[in-house]
């Protein structure tokens, strides 16, 4: 049992943290911490797995205990045996490039005998269905596969509690569904699950209790049944995502839908000898938003890069405004926001980033200011882009695209890892941009985003 | 067929033999004996990829050396010295590249067996992850720069310092972020536990390993005896 009594924590050097936390998590229970970004969910997970204050330093008051033992009295490696941690971005957690080596890593650290390490590693691979990934380097796995490897590397240690911090932030719906199967299995085995998460629908049938964390404290707790009774208005007020999986009914992208801004003829992309996609013919209508869906590896990002001119297609042509444009010219006409925002910014402040490569005319400054306010970034206008959270970076990237003056925007998973409130802000901004005549293509698995702002859906098949 | 690997002590001994051989030899051209042994050594481990690329490289060096020696060929862009240097050092390149491309787990296991402190082993594992990660991050930075129009020739020529900054600042910040995430991941998985580290890997030396250990010793000794020693 994990008990937090009257806990407050403030990070060293900044005012952020949590306060007055009282929470009991019983053995075998699945508790989901939800709420807006920056509300304190991650800090709460760090207090539970002991990373705060041992790694993330700050001032802690109150008591956090595991089975009656105060967690601050335990060394980090002892906590790791009891509480396994799964983080948001699995790719930067790996110490090995091979499946078995990565899964064995924790067991190796605990100095287990070779036979024991091998038994546990093989068991974790078999239990989590990872056998097919054994011969593939970890770097080439999809985000969903990497996240399952991350869970397996914790599973091999056999902790009783799993703390997951936004484990689906980088996953598509199929990846989230497979992770849900794994978490269901862990719960059935009697493990305790504590999951900080925005996306809630995939947890249906696993979660026992939702805990809403906002402004650094627990605001309320609800059972899944109570959550389902929330009206749409209440959900929006709390900035929550859909509680249950919803079916969307978007029309498929037609062969022709009015004025075409961008169209492709026989577009083909190959990587080494493998064909990623072949002979694609489609047209994107101006002033509308098209959602591109498809399984991992279907080539959605490759398609976006080819359309933007960041990657040369094997063959075929891309027409913009009726003219076949070279890759160099397409880069001036099309904006691409990558899903990975870690390396997208080059200046020392959010404002400079928006004005990079452009004049700072009063009109433009006013537009930048309005956009920052709409996207909830105005308070960070002087902050360094690297200091922003993942969700804030995603919003900044979209703002840069909207201010770039380019008429076509390609956005790769712009709302992965965003809470309901910020997802709706992005939907509103995109709808407004489309109304101004911009052509927008969104690569997404976010059904709520698609329902909120997209006009057409197009599934890219492998 | 998958690449095999000799035990780490054999690989280290092969490296020591090639270094001793090329450092002491009086006949640089005869280093081809060590190189041929190196190729056979790669073949025995089914390291075909390295064998292929190094064989092509060595053949080119051989042709250049032949032209320089017998046809008075003088390369315009590099000196003859470099051709001879690479020819001589090829056996060291072969075995050292084979060593550093050994699965990091095997190396970590060996280090653990000889009681290397855990922080050193983790440092080694991080080092092996560093290069592929940085390669992928550098590619992302470059693509982002192209997307933002920061790679136009006029931009690169007129603002070289700013262009360098555009590459290095996001790259260094990303480095810090990855280092932080990696540290958290290690701490949460017991990396701070005191005591000897276990290992999933750890190949036991077999007959093949013993044969190659002996072969490198014999070949190096014969090579030095036949070619002469220069101290």
Residue-level pLDDT at B157? 87
Residue-level pLDDT at A372? 94
Q: Is the pLDDT of residue B134 over 80?
A: yes
Burial category of B124 from C-beta neighbours within 10 Å (exposed 0-12, middle 13-18, buried 19 and up): middle
> Nearest Cβ partner of B192 from A77, A93, A308?
A77
Q: Contact B104/A331, CB-based, under 8 Å?
A: no
Q: Under a CB-based contact definition with an 8 Å cutoff, are residues B97 and B118 in contact?
A: no
Pairs across A and B, CB distance < 8 A:
164
Give chain A positions within 8 Å (CB) of B134.
none
Tokens of B219: 């070949």
Give the minimum alpha-carbon distance from A328 to chain B in angstroms, rounded to a whole number: 9
> Nearest Cβ partner of A106 from B146, B184, B190?
B190
**For A297-311, what is each residue's pLDDT tens digit?**
778 888 999 999 998
Tokens of A110: 């605990």
Residue A115 neighbours by CB distance under 10 Å = 8
DSSP 3-state assignment of A3?
strand
Radius of gyration of chain A (CA): 23
First to last CA, chain A: 46
* CA A317 distance to own-chain centroid: 33
Tokens of A57: 């330093």
The dihedrals phi and psi of B81, each to the nearest 5 degrees, come to -55, -45
Tokens of A258: 């009015």
Give chain B positions within 8 Å (CB) of A55.
183-184, 187
Q: Under a CB-based contact definition with an 8 Å cutoff, are residues B76 and B61 in contact?
A: no
Q: Is the pLDDT of residue A259 over 70?
A: no
Give the minimum alpha-carbon distance from A36 to chain B in angstroms, rounded to a whole number: 22
> Nearest Cβ partner of A113 from B133, B174, B198?
B198
Q: How many CA atoms lie within 13 A of B177 on its CB side?
A: 22
Q: Contact B140/A305, CB-based, under 8 Å?
A: no
A108 vs A13, more confident = A108
Q: Looking at chain B, which residue has its C-alpha nearest residue A101?
A: B105
Give chain B positions within 8 Å (CB) of A97.
103-104, 128-129, 132
DSSP 3-state assignment of A432?
helix
DSSP 3-state assignment of A347?
coil
Q: Contact A108/B108, CB-based, under 8 Å?
A: yes
Q: Contact B192/A87, CB-based, under 8 Å?
A: no
- Residues 6+ positions from A404 with CB-CB distance below 8 Å: A335, A358
Q: Contact A154/B148, CB-based, under 8 Å?
A: no
Q: Contact A97/B184, CB-based, under 8 Å?
A: no
Give the whole-angstrom CA distance, residue A417 versus residue A143.
Answer: 13
A1 falls in which pLDDT band (50, 70, 90)? very high
Give the minimum alpha-carbon distance from A108 to chain B in angstroms, rounded to a whole number: 4
B24 vs B152, more confident = B24
Q: Is the pLDDT of residue B148 over 80?
A: yes
> Nearest Cβ partner of A92 from B132, B145, B181?
B181
Give the whole-angstrom CA distance, residue B42 versus residue B99.
Answer: 11
For the ranges A177-181, A375-379, B217-221, which has the lowest average pLDDT? A177-181
Considering only CA atoms, which of A16, A443, A452 is closest in space to residue A235?
Answer: A452
Q: Under a CB-based contact definition with an 8 Å cutoff, are residues A170 and A212 in contact?
A: no
For B14-83, the three-class secondary structure string (H helix, E strand, C coil) is: HHHHHHHHHHHECCCHHHHHHHHHHHHHHHHCCCHHHHHHHHHHHHHHHHHHHHHHHCCCCCCCCCHHHH
Q: Contact A95/B173, CB-based, under 8 Å?
A: no
Q: Contact A310/B178, CB-based, under 8 Å?
A: no
ipTM of the complex: 0.84
Burial category of A307 from C-beta neighbours within 10 Å (exposed 0-12, middle 13-18, buried 19 and up): buried
Using the CB atoms, write b or e for A134-160: b if 16+ within 10 Å.
eeeebeebbbbbbbbbbbbbbbbbebb
**For A202-248, what is each residue's pLDDT tens digit?**
999 999 999 999 999 999 999 999 999 999 999 999 999 988 887 88
Give chain B positions within 8 Å (CB) of A335.
147
């Amino acid at each position: 049992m994990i008990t937090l009594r009257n806990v407050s924590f403030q990070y060293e050097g900044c005012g952020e943290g949590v306060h007055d936390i009282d929470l009991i998590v019983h053995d075998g229970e699945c508790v989901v911490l939800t709420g807006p970004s920056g509300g304190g969910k991650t800090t709460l997970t760090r207090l539970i797995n002991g990373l705060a204050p041992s790694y993330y330093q700050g001032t802690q008051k109150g008591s956090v205990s595991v089975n009656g033992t105060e967690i601050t009295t335990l060394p980090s490696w002892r906590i790791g045996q009891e509480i396994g941690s799964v983080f948001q971005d699995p790719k930067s957690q790996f110490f090995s490039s091979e499946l078995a080596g990565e899964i064995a890593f924790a067991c190796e650290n605990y100095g287990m005998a070779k036979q024991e390490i091998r038994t546990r590693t093989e068991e974790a691979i078999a239990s989590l269905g990872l056998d097919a990934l054994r011969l593939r380097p970890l770097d080439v796995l999809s985000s969903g596969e990497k996240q399952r490897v991350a869970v397996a590397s914790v599973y091999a240690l056999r902790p009783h509690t799993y703390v997951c911090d936004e484990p689906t932030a980088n996953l598509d719906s199929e990846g989230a569904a497979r992770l849900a199967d794994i978490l269901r299995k862990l719960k059935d085995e009697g493990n305790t699950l504590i999951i900080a998460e925005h996306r809630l629908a995939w947890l249906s049938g696993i979660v026992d209790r939702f805990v809403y964390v906002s402004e650094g404290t627990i605001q309320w707790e609800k059972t899944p049944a109570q959550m389902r009774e929330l009206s749409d208005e209440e959900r929006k007020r709390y900035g929550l995502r859909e509680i249950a999986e919803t079916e969307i009914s978007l029309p498929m992208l037609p062969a022709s839908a009015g004025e075409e801004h961008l169209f492709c003829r026989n577009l083909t992309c190959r990587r080494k000898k493998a064909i990623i996609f072949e002979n694609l013919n489609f047209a994107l209508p101006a002033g509308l938003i098209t959602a591109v869906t498809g399984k991992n590896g279907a080539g959605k990002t490759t398609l976006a890069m080819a359309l933007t001119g960041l990657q040369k297609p094997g063959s075929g042509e891309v027409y913009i405004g009726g003219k076949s444009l070279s890759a160099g010219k397409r880069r001036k006409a099309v904006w691409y926001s990558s899903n990975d925002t870690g390396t997208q910014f080059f200046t020392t402040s959010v404002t400079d980033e928006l004005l990079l490569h452009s004049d700072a005319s009063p009109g433009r400054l006013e537009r930048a200011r309005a956009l920052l306010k709409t996207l909830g970034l105005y308070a960070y206008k002087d902050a360094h882009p690297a200091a922003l959270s993942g969700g804030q970076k995603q919003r900044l990237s979209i703002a840069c695209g909207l201010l770039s003056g380019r008429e076509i925007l390609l956005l790769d998973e712009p709302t992965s890892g965003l809470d309901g409130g910020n997802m709706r802000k992005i939907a509103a901004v995109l709808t407004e941009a489309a109304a101004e005549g911009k052509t927008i293509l969104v690569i997404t698995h976010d059904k709520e985003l698609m329902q909120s702002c997209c006009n057409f859906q197009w599934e890219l098949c492998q | 067929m998958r690449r095999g690997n000799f035990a780490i002590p054999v690989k280290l001994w092969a490296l020591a033999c090639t270094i001793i051989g090329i450092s002491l030899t009086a006949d640089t051209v005869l280093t081809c004996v060590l190189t041929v042994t190196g190729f056979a050594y790669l073949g025995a481990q089914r390291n075909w990829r390295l064998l292929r690329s190094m064989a092509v490289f060595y053949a080119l060096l051989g042709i250049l050396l032949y032209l320089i020696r017998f046809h008075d060929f003088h390369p315009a862009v590099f000196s003859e010295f470099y051709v001879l240097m690479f020819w001589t050092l090829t056996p060291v390149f072969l075995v050292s590249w084979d060593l550093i491309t050994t699965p990091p787990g095997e190396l970590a296991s060996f280090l653990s067996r000889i009681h290397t402190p855990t922080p050193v082993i983790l440092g080694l594992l991080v080092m092996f992850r560093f290069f592929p990660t940085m390669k992928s991050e550098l590619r992302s930075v470059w693509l982002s720069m192209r997307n933002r129009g920061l790679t136009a020739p006029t931009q690169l020529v007129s603002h070289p310092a700013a262009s360098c900054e555009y590459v290095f600042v996001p790259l260094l910040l990303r480095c810090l972020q990855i280092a932080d995430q990696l540290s958290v991941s290690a701490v949460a998985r017991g990396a701070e536990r005191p005591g000897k580290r276990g290992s999933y890997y750890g190949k036991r030396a077999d007959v093949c390993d013993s044969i190659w250990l002996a072969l490198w010793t014999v070949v190096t000794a014969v090579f030095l005896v036949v070619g002469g020693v220069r101290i």
